[in-house]
Amino acid sequence: MNPVEVAANAFVAAAIFLAGRNNVHTWWLGIVGCALFGWVFYESRLYADVTLQIFFILTSILGWWKWLHGRKGAELPVRLSRPSTLVGWTAVAAVAALGYGLLLHTFTDAYAPFLDSIVLAFSVLGQLLMMERRVENWWAWLLVNTIAVPLYASRGLYVTSVLYVAFWVNALVSLRRWRGLARKNG
């Protein structure tokens, strides 16, 4: 068992748990976990996931700030997105996944470049929605976790794969919780 993988999972598990509970401490824990996961995924030749970890670190800094000061200096509320906006962003994520998958397939020795790219693109979508405290971020995470579990297991990242099963359950629970918060926020 890789101790860096175990540590990455511990930090990210705490971050994901706190995100589902709408707790701002999700962000700094995620930064540490993503830095560790960057190394784990690099060693596993999951290059889209390495790129994703860099993105997560940068957007976690911004997300942390937005959650605390996002709306005229006040905490950003949990809310729903317009369906037309979601359709557009989903289409962009799908095209990005295909394009990045083609790049990885053509120019690298990436393992499962298209699946890895779907994880990347829809994780970006989920992260952007989460930064804005949009309920629909949890739908993106459900898709990501569904693909990530077998992908990571196929690379021998069993601890990470099991954790992503837990993330899948957390996303279901969090989706329900955030829907309730959005109703309260009107």
Dump pLDDT digits (tens) for 53-72.
999 999 999 989 888 887 67
Tell me what pLDDT residue 74 has.
Answer: 72
174 has pLDDT over 90:
yes
76 has pLDDT over 90:
no
Tell me what pLDDT residue 91 has.
Answer: 98
**Helix (H, G, I), strand (E, B), or coil: what is residue 18?**
helix
45 has pLDDT over 90:
no
What is the rounded CA–CA span in Å between residue 112 and residue 95?
Answer: 17
Closest CA to 49 of 66, 36, 62: 36
Number of domains in the chain: 1
75 has pLDDT over 80:
no
User: What is the reported pTM?
Assistant: 0.87
> Residues 6 or more apart from 34 whose CB is under 8 A from it?
8, 12, 53, 54, 56, 57, 60
Tell me what pLDDT residue 56 has.
Answer: 93
Instruction: Give the domain extent around 49.
Output: 3-185
Tell me what pLDDT residue 185 has.
Answer: 86
Tell me what pLDDT residue 11 has.
Answer: 97
Tell me what pLDDT residue 73 has.
Answer: 67
Tell me what pLDDT residue 71 has.
Answer: 67
181 has pLDDT over 90:
yes
Task: Express each pLDDT in 119-149 by its tens digit.
Answer: 999 999 999 999 999 999 999 999 999 999 9
Output the CA angle 99-103-105, nearest 5 degrees. Answer: 115
Strand partners, 71: 74
43-47, 78-82, 161-165, 180-184: lowest mean pLDDT where?
Answer: 43-47
CA dist 99 → 21, 95, 169 (Å): 34, 6, 30
